[in-house]
Amino acid sequence: MAPTAKPPAKPAKKHAEPKPKPTATPAPRILSYSLSETNFHPGDRVYGSAKTTFNVASIEVRIDGYSISMDKVGPGRFTLSYTVPNYPFFVRGPISILVIARNTQGAATTETLSGALE
């Protein structure tokens, strides 16, 4: 009697290596910031700067819904140079100025200032 051929062995299943959990990036922090003024008039030139932790990717300055991005000039360093546009008389009055720092994962931290459109 002829020997029976064994069926080919199935390849061993490879078990997926467990993926390491991504390490959480620390929350962004604003260490210091300044604006040349907080009471604005049409045509004013406004300057600003901010120092942050190195993991901050961007800073947004928001004035009552209007957004301005600060320029990143180095790790944790941002600057702003902006000319205030003309605006209608009826928007004059007190405003909130938000300074929002974000990291690449989207986590944000916010500082709030009071100001005015005059």
Q: State both tokens at 118.
A: 């005059």
The pLDDT value recorded for residue 5 is 64
Window from 14-23, 27-36, 105-114 with minimum mean pLDDT? 14-23
* Residue whose token pair is 């040349």: 36
Q: What is the mean pLDDT of residues 14-38?
A: 81
Q: How confident is the model at residue 16 (pLDDT cuts 50, 70, 90)?
A: low
Q: Are 60 and 48 in contact (CB under 8 A)?
A: no
User: What does DSSP say about strands 39-40 and 71-74: parallel, antiparallel, or unpaired?
Assistant: unpaired
User: What is the pLDDT, as a whole number, of residue 57?
Assistant: 97
- The CATH number assigned to the domain with range 33-117 reads 2.60.40.1930
Decide: pTM greater than 0.85.
Answer: no
